[in-house]
Each structure stands twice: as C-alpha cells, then as structure tokens.
Structure 1
C-alpha cells in the first residue's frame, strides 16, 4: 500500500507540474500582443527521498517532479514602426526607468508614452519617464535623473551674438584706389558684397550687408551696414562718443597660400553702437560692449577663382511657437520650433543589470531592482553595451506563438500521461482489494 501511495504521489506531482507548465504557457500566449512583454519558461526538477543519514539507495525511485523556477526571457522582440514620436523601442539591452505613482522606480521595456497636462512624459499608468536634463548653456547632461518634460511654450527671441562668413575672394580682382572713399551706394568703392538676416533683443530681423574691398594685393577691407546704417568692424568695439562719418573697417591680410593671416584669430568684433533699433533697445546685450558681437572670418579665402559665397551663419532668432520633438538613437530629446531652431532638453537614459532575470516583476510590464539582479548601470550615450532607442516604434512581445502552441500540446500530453499512471495504479489497487 505504501508503494501504491508513492505511485499516486508521483502521478499527482506530474499533474501539478503539467498544470503549472500550462499556466506559464497560457500567460505567455495571453500576453503575446502586449508591447514589451517578456515571455517566461517553467523549469522543473525531479524529487528524491533520502535516508536519515543522508544516504540514497542506488535502487531508490524518485517521488515525482516539482516546479523549480519560472524564468523570464529578455531576448529581443520585433520592432514595429508606428510613426508616433512618443513611442520608443529599445533595440538591444536596457530598460526605461519610470517613477511610479507609488514612489517606486520601475524598469520597463514598454515604450508607449504620452504627455500629461504638465508636460511630463508618462506611461498609461501615469508613471513618469526618467531622464537627465541638458544644460542649455553647456549642452551637457546632468548627472542626476529627473522627470522628462516637454514644454510646448514658444521659444523666446535671442539676439545675434555671433555670425560668420564662408566665402572666397578673387585674388585676380583689381585693387580700388585709396582716393575712392567707401560708400555702400557707390559700386565702384568696393569689389564684392553679401547680406544676411540678424536679430535684435526683441527678435526683430535686420539686414546686415558685408562689403569687401581690395586695397592692395593680399590686403582687403571689410565694411558692414545694418539696415543701411554703417557699423564698425574691427578687433575691438569702438563705441566712440561722437561717431566719425566713416565707420571703421576690418583689415584682412592673406598669405601666399590664399589663407587668412590677419587677424590672427580670424575674427572681428562688429560694433553696433551706431545702430539703434526701432524699439530703442540694444541690438545685443552680450559682448564686450552693450551691443557688439563676434564675426568669424576663419573660412574666408583668397584664391584665383571667382567670388563665391558658400555659407552665411548667425546664431540669433525670433520668437517662435513649438512645432514638435523627437528622440535620437542616443536618447537625446530635441524640441523643434517653427523657426527651425532645435533645442536639446534631456537625455533618456537606458538602464541594465548584470542579472536581469533576477528582477522582480510587478505587472504592467514593469520590474523592480533586487540585490540579486546586481547594480544598476546607466548609459547616457550610444554605448555598445546598451541598446539604441528607436523613436516612432515599439518593441513587440518576444513570445513565439508557434513554439508556445507546440509546448501547450506537449504539456497536455504530459498531463494525460500522468492521469493515465494514476488510473493504472488505481486499477492495480482495485485488483489487490478484490483478492479473496
């Protein structure tokens, strides 16, 4: 009878094991369409009885099976493009980190986010995505993580604080006689000119024209006007008490290789003291004087080819409304404005653990850190040890439905076989019971 009881126990453990295996499979199948879900696998172990002294007989028969553990598989799921900039998929290792409404830091692969009324990027539960704010001055990300926010306010204007030219002056051009005074309205008083738009403190646009005049071989002068008013160009701000009739010009000296040798740092100061905006405010409140800025001439050359302008640049802009945002592969969140200005506001960090299988699942595709999982590691840049963030896409569940259905059939057969072993033992016990 003891043997019969053991057989019943073995069959019962097999039924329980098959049942638990089916539960794991069913959970995988039910979450096959859940974004970022990671499937699990049940692991089983056999059971043996031991004598009181710890010895085990070579003829001992096991007592059945038991569920050893349920392990999650963190293999990569397929990436599905959605086009929504708030959808983010991790291609490779790592987790997003969110601050839950319960005050816990939760790790997730589900990149379905949206923006709340305060501009916080949140998931469907209201958990706030964590990232590292970027300093607008230095462009560096903070070392302390916080809630990632997207401000949809308009960007305020910024005056032009620096500008630059990239052009070639024709070395074959004829020098202009010193007897001819520079005059913007006199085409014979300069060789070439070009214009760009610059901005004052209120974001109002103005036209700055640059005039280039060849004085002697390899020596040129640079003049400038803003909305037709001459301004000073030189190595330092002029800011005269009484401005002379002729504005100062910047001297350009080229070497035999056609490259600029003077000024030594290839930059001038544009002094706007002569120019007053219609609003009566300083053109720019930064620089060595209340309204001056640096003009970069490092890409000006003098070669034996026609005058040509490759690029004109300046860093000012007018006020402009929010137009959108995107997240780069390195996690940089960039806000775009209607005037074309783009501002990096935060870096969304990716987190990983040396033993992610030891993370504690808390539902809603989230896990909590545990001591067994190891220390939290974070990357703020494109790092080979971490995955890349793909904006406008989502990571699908890593459950293979075909494999799960095959495993389900197998588990069903195991359940039936264990049921049959119990039924067979019951038949034998019935025979013994009926002996006369």
Structure 2
C-alpha cells in the first residue's frame, strides 16, 4: 500500500512542478494569470471501522485554480495599448466563427480594414454610441448581450467614405470611450469599450493567449462601460504585465522538488523493506 501512497505523492508533486513551470515560463506574457495546484487527501474506511486506526491512502489533485490578481501596469507610448485596473475583461470576437472570448491583453492595433484587433486577430467589441453625442444607442444594463455589441472601426476619413477630413488622433477615456479627432477639428465618438464582468472568474475556461470563454461555472457575462462598478477603469497607453512573482515561484519550485524527492525516498524505503522480507528465506 505504501507504494501506491507514495506514487500518488509523486504524481501530485509532478503536477505542482508542471504548474509552477508554466507560471515561470509565462512571466513575460502580457496579462498572464498564474495558477496554483490544489490538493486533497484520500481517505477511506468501512462504516464499522475505527477511523483513528486507519492511515490515509495518499493525495489527489483537486484542480488547477487561476489567480486573477492585478498585474503590474506598464506604461507604453501607444494609444491603443489598453489596460484594465479592476476585475473586468475586454470583449473580442474571433473572425470566421464569431466566437466571443474575453481577455486582459489590451495590446490592440488596427488592421487593413481599419478594424481594431488584438494579438490573435480577434475584433475588439464596443457598445455602439451616437457619433455626435457619445450616448449609447442600446440600453446598458445586466440584460445587455454580446449580440448587441459591434466591432470597433477607426475610419481614416470622416464622414466615413469621404476624402476631406482625415484622422489626426485617437483617444481613449477611463470609461473606455474611444474618440477620433479629424482634420476639421471635429471629435467623433467611435464606441465605448465593452467591459465584461463575471460572478465567478475562477469558472472561466482558458483558451490560451490570455483569452477566456464563459462557462456555466463562471456565469453569463455582464457588460458595461469602464470606470463604473466592478468593471474597472481603462488606461490608455499601458499594458498589464503577468501577475507572476518570479521569486515566489522559485521558492515554490524548490518546495515541490523537495516533495518529489521525499516521496521518492518513501518508495525506496518501502522497496528496501520488501526486498528484506523476500530475502529472509534465502
């Protein structure tokens, strides 16, 4: 039995090492969220058995939980580099299958069609607004769905399709409102960044590239604008770094390595005892 107990310990230590290694390898990944391995003991006894005389049967991995703590905000010189100081997520839609996902990676740029896209090519979603007043053209409340959102497009000229007034600058407010200033001095409201919040962030499903999708465990996304409630404020010209503390991870790595070695020693000791018993008759 001790072989299997120590074997479960080896598997648990290996899972811990893999989790820590993934954290360390993504220390420079924009908006990466570190993970922790969660363990639980295995115990079983018959209904009439005295539990004080029963040893445990090992350990199991209960899950790998992500830590959605705020990463360090790094200042950049690009207007469309956006960071959220809070618990919200940017909403993006993948081209082709229209899959909606959520990200903290605000490294946005403009493609050849003047659509604002993230590092994976997905289109940034915004709440449609009146170009002259900036007032949303849809009701912004808890019933707002992703179907009401639109792709953010930054026209080179205004009115769109014209050739007279060319774009001179783009601005993003703390509430996520994107504005364009054109050659005649007019300011055009292009849309309000759709920030998504969830009842349970830990229930989100990872998709890689700092993207997540909603599940039944996370609850349906609640859309809103920045700088209000739990959506957080939007900072232009900044990016959120990984929340991995490299010093903490290296200490955890040493601890996981020691756990692996200790379980290996337990298997070695059990093997020595078994060998001694088998060789008693010889």
Q: TM above 0.5, one fold?
A: yes
Instruction: Call closer, same or farther: CA 1:54–1:20 in 2, change over 3 Å.
Output: farther
Give the CA deviation at 1:432. Answer: 0.5
Does 1:421 pair with 2:245?
Answer: no
Partner of 2:199: 354
Distance 2:233 2:19 in 1: 30
Contact 2:226 2:233 in 1 (8 A): no
Give the CA deviation at 1:410. Answer: 0.2
Contact 2:73 2:239 in 1 (8 A): yes
Distance 1:37 1:377 in 2: 22
Distance 1:321 1:421 in 2: 73
The number of aligned residues is 268
Give the CA deviation at 1:141. Answer: 1.3
Contact 2:8 2:59 in 1 (8 A): yes
Unaligned runs of at least 5 residues, structure 1: 1-5, 157-318
Distance 1:126 1:428 in 2: 60
Partner of 1:43: 38
Residues 48-79 of structure 1 show CA distances to partners (whole Å, capped at 9, x for unaligned) of 1232x486632111111010111000000000
Give the CA deviation at 1:154. Answer: 4.3
Give the CA deviation at 1:384. Answer: 3.2
2:25 aligned residue (8, 19, 30)? 30
- Specify the structure having the higher radius of gyration (Cα): 1
Alignment of 1:209-358 (within 5 A): 319-358=164-203
More helix by share: 2
Partner of 1:150: 154
Unaligned runs of at least 5 residues, structure 2: 139-147
Contact 2:226 2:234 in 1 (8 A): no
Does 1:16 pair with 2:35?
Answer: no
Residues 237-277 of structure 1 show CA distances to partners (whole Å, capped at 9, x for unaligned) of xxxxxxxxxxxxxxxxxxxxxxxxxxxxxxxxxxxxxxxxx
Q: 3-state SS of the aligned residue for 2:14?
A: helix
Give the CA deviation at 1:124. Answer: 2.0
Give the CA deviation at 1:320. Answer: 2.9
Distance 1:54 1:386 in 2: 53
Residues 367-410 of structure 1 show CA distances to partners (whole Å, capped at 9, x for unaligned) of 11111112311222521322111011100000111000000000
Give the CA deviation at 1:103. Answer: 2.1
Contact 2:227 2:234 in 1 (8 A): no
Contact 2:133 2:189 in 1 (8 A): no
Contact 1:155 1:322 in 2 (8 A): no
- Aligned residues: CA RMSD: 1.6
Contact 1:334 1:344 in 2 (8 A): yes
Residues 172-214 of structure 1 show CA distances to partners (whole Å, capped at 9, x for unaligned) of xxxxxxxxxxxxxxxxxxxxxxxxxxxxxxxxxxxxxxxxxxx
Q: 3-state SS of the aligned residue for 1:408?
A: helix
Distance 2:126 2:202 in 1: 24
1:75 aligned residue (61, 69, 78)? 69
Partner of 1:113: 108
Contact 1:49 1:56 in 2 (8 A): no
More strand by share: 1
Instruction: Call closer, same or farther: CA 1:357–1:45 in 2, change over 3 Å.
Output: same
Contact 1:37 1:397 in 2 (8 A): yes
Q: 3-state SS of the aligned residue for 1:372?
A: coil
Residues 352-380 of structure 1 show CA distances to partners (whole Å, capped at 9, x for unaligned) of 10101001111111111111112311222
Q: 3-state SS of the aligned residue for 1:93?
A: coil
TM-score, with structure 1 as normaliser = 0.59
Partner of 1:62: 56
